[in-house]
Amino acid sequence: MAVTITGFEVKDIRFPTSLTGAGTDAMNVDCDYSAAYVALHTSSSLSGYGMTFTIGRGTEVVCQAIELVVQRVLGKEVEELFADMGKTWTMLIGDSQLRWIGPEKGVIHIATAAVDNALWDMYARSRHKPLWKLVADFTPEEFVRSTAFRYITDVLTPEEALQMLKSKEAGKKDREKLVRDIGYPAYITSAGWLMYDDEQVARLTKEAIGRGFNHFKMKVGADFSNDLRRAKLIRSIIDDPANLAPGKQIDPASIAGKNAGPTGSVLMMDANQVWDVQEAIDYVTKLAETKPWFIEEPTAPDDILGHAAIRRTLKPLGIGVATGEHAHNRMVFKQLLQAEAIDVCQIDSCRLAGVTEILGVLLMAAKFGIIVCPHAGGVGLCEHALHLSLIDYLCVSGTMERNVLEYADHLHQHFINPVTLNSNGRYNVPNDPEAGYSTHMKDASFEEFGFPNGAYWRSVAEGNPKEVEL
């Protein structure tokens, strides 16, 4: 008997990370890392779990939008959905009245991400493979059928994508063995949140070096003198040979063109959209002595030509431009690439409308020769993004030589299949055949942090907040 989608649950979960300063930056000073979460259930024991990342208030609005989008898949046979995920995605965004309140951006789009992510999670679970392995085992034709191409065919046609994928087939098994052996390269953000004091920044940076990291990102943009001091502090630690992890070997190719210091360590900066274009140019130019590899989100995420102007001006200083975590659809990425506006493409697994849309962005970035380093500084984003980086490496770009995937230390314990790192500061490859997209959260986490009725939030409403460990 055919398996059909019979029901769903939508949940709002919020973690009070604003209490610790985790996640703070120049634009977002009181982040409570949160998620709008959906579980899809079927006529069998098969379920799928998806989410989209938020930072507190407004999550209830996304949950309401998910309840509308998910109606599109109720009663559908799962194998028909899985057979053509590109067609399924088009159906998900195809309600003209819901599309009107985007179109393909904003709340309705990130709600669609949660549903599409849940479908992909279900698909992988149905085949008893982690998501990255499900896609890596696709034929090129299956990969193309699973990709959203509408509005990007002026840059990349399905036929061109098929040839790109076929060209990477020969070395796929060798690449899979390599990444299983050594892990996927990571960089750390957790040491550089804006509200951390110097003592905490120094301690966390040294700890990160000891864990094998050699790429470090800090938040900037609130106060120049503070930023310069903190950048010099981080540089003094990561450039000091005495702080190197014993026996640490760095591949010169992995840091080529990244403004690396004498120990091979790389510093990155993230402004989280606070500047106008000329302001960004002037501010980062004054920070150039600290030799950042790139400035992330230097201006409004929709300003394609502004990013291009910033990139042109900063390029002689050896400083690149990265953006994408707030690029709300594949068309924005298409234009960023066409305008030569970025050096690093930063897809977000919950801002774009799920895996299906992301596959097209991976293909476009590979065509333009731009590396993909996903945004993962939020609850569940590391768990998502690792699968996407593995898909990019194995199927699309065929390289992880210069790529690094963001890592933040927070909230992994709330997932049934959390990401882990090896001693060289690299992500371990997920191997659990029942893990799907690694997005299934623990029931106990909802009991504690579900909003507004979880134990923690009830204690806040009663005026006696519980102490929590995040």
- The pLDDT of residue 165: 98
Within a 13 Å sphere around the CA of 467, how many CA atoms are in the beta-carbon half? Answer: 0
- The pLDDT of residue 195: 84
From the candidates 11, 168, 219, 414, give the one annotated as an active-site residue.
219
More confident residue, 249 or 363: 363
- The pLDDT of residue 244: 86
Q: What is the pLDDT of residues 257-266, one digit of tens each?
A: 999 999 999 9
d(Cα 32, Cα 54) in Å, to the nearest integer? 8
pLDDT above 80: residue 23 = no
- The pLDDT of residue 248: 79
> Would you list the domain boundaries of the chain?
4-128+442-462, 172-428
From the candidates 11, 129, 291, 375, give the one annotated as an active-site residue.
375
**Mean pLDDT, all residues of the chain:** 96
362-391: average pLDDT: 97
More confident residue, 367 or 27: 367
290-318: average pLDDT: 98
- The pLDDT of residue 27: 81
- The pLDDT of residue 102: 97
- The pLDDT of residue 469: 81
Please, are residues 245 and 212 in contact by the beta-carbon 8 Å criterion? yes
* β-pair partners for 215: 266
> Is 129 annotated in the active site?
no
pLDDT above 80: residue 25 = no
pLDDT above 90: residue 379 = yes
What are the residues whose beta carbons fall under 8 Å from the beta carbon of 278, sequence distance 6 or more?
none
440 C-beta neighbours (distance < 10 Å), count: 23
d(Cα 331, Cα 324) in Å, to the nearest integer? 11
- The pLDDT of residue 52: 97
> Is 384 annotated in the active site?
no
- The pLDDT of residue 247: 75
* β-pair partners for 13: 35, 450
26-40, 278-292, 359-373, 400-414: segment of lowest average pLDDT: 26-40
Percent of the chain with pLDDT over 70: 100
432-461: average pLDDT: 97
pLDDT band per the 50, 70, 90 thresholds, residue 249? confident
Q: What is the pLDDT of residues 381-435, one digit of tens each?
A: 999 999 999 999 999 999 999 999 999 999 999 999 999 999 999 999 999 999 9
Across 243-319, where does the E strand assignment appear?
Answer: 266-270, 292-296
CA quadruple 259, 271, 227, 191: dihedral sign: negative
Show the tokens assigned to 93: 């965004």
Residue bearing tokens 């502090």: 233
- The pLDDT of residue 275: 98
Please provide the CATH number assigned to the domain covering 4-128+442-462.
3.30.390.10
d(Cα 400, Cα 11) in Å, to the nearest integer? 35
254-258: average pLDDT: 96
Return the SS3 of 356.
Answer: helix
89-95: average pLDDT: 97
pTM reported for the whole predicted model: 0.97
Query: Domain 172-428 sits in which CATH superfamily?
Result: Enolase-like C-terminal domain (3.20.20.120)
Residue bearing tokens 């036929």: 159
pLDDT band per the 50, 70, 90 thresholds, residue 192? confident
Q: What is the pLDDT of residues 55-79, one digit of tens each?
A: 999 999 999 999 999 999 999 999 9
Residue burial 332-356, b: 16+ Cβ < 10 Å; e: rest: bbbbbbeeebbbbbbbbbbbbbbbb
Q: What is the pLDDT of residues 322-333, one digit of tens each?
A: 999 999 999 999
156-172: average pLDDT: 98
* β-pair partners for 69: none
Residue burial 130-163, b: 16+ Cβ < 10 Å; e: rest: bbbbbbbebebebbbbbbbbeebeebbeeeebee
pLDDT band per the 50, 70, 90 thresholds, residue 205? very high
| DSSP H/E element including 391 | helix 381-391
| DSSP H/E element including 42 | strand 34-42
- The pLDDT of residue 423: 93
